[in-house]
Amino acid sequence: MSEKELSKYGEGVGFERIRRITGYLVGTIDRFNNAKRAEVNDRVKHGV
């Protein structure tokens, strides 16, 4: 591997973010439909 290629290790690779969609999980958020995505963005944390 050349120096140039080495420096691209991971370039363009996003983080995977898994959230519960309803009772179940799905892959990562990019699989969510637009409405569900909006809902996930709006979710606030609940204090204990």
Partner 1 sequence: MIVTVKKRDGREMPFNIEKISAAIEKAFRASGELDEQIKASQDQLNLLGNDDVLSSTALQVAASAVGLLEAEGKVKPEIEEIQDAVEKALTEGGYADTAKSYILYRAERTRIREVNTRLMHTLRDITFSSAKESDLKRENANIDGDTAMGTMLKYGSESAKHFYTMMMLKPEHSRAHSEGDIHIHDLDFYSLTMTCCQIDLKKLFKGGFNTGHGHLREPKDIRSYAALAAIAIQSNQNDQHGGQSIPNFDYAMADGVRITYRKAYLSNMVKALILLTGKTEEEIQPVVKKLHAEMAEMGMVATLVPNEKFVEAEARELSKTFDTEIVMKAQKFAEKMAYEETDKTTFQAMEAFVHNLNSMHSRAGAQTPFSSINYGMCTEPEARMAMRNLLLTTDEGLGGGETAIFPIQIFRVKEGISLNPGDPNYDLFKLACKVSAKRLFPNFSFQDAPYNLQYYKPGHPETEISYMGCRTRVIGNNYDPTREISFGRGNLSFTSINLPRIAIKMKSVDLFFKELDRMLQLVSDQLMERFAVQSRRKVKNFPFLMGQGVWIDSEKLGWEDTVGEVIKHGTLSIGFIGLAETLVALTGKHHGESEASQELGLKIIGHMREFCDKESKRLGLNFSLLATPAEGLSGRFVRMDKKKFGIIPGVTDRDYYTNSFHVPVYYKISAFKKLSLEAPYHALTNAGHISYVELDGDPTQNLDAFEKIVHHMAKVGIGYGSINHPVDRDPVCGFVGVIGDCCPRCGRSEGHAISEAKIEELRKLYPGMPAFKGIR
In whole angstroms, how close is the CB of 27 to partner 1 at the nearest point?
7
Within 8 A by CB and 6+ apart from 28, the residues are 16, 17, 18
Shortest approach of partner 1 to residue 21 CB, angstroms? 6
Distance CA 8, CA 26 (A): 29
Residues 1-48 that bind partner 1 (CB under 8 A): 1, 5-27, 30-36, 38-39, 42-48
Binding site for partner 1 (CB under 8 A): 1, 5-27, 30-36, 38-39, 42-48
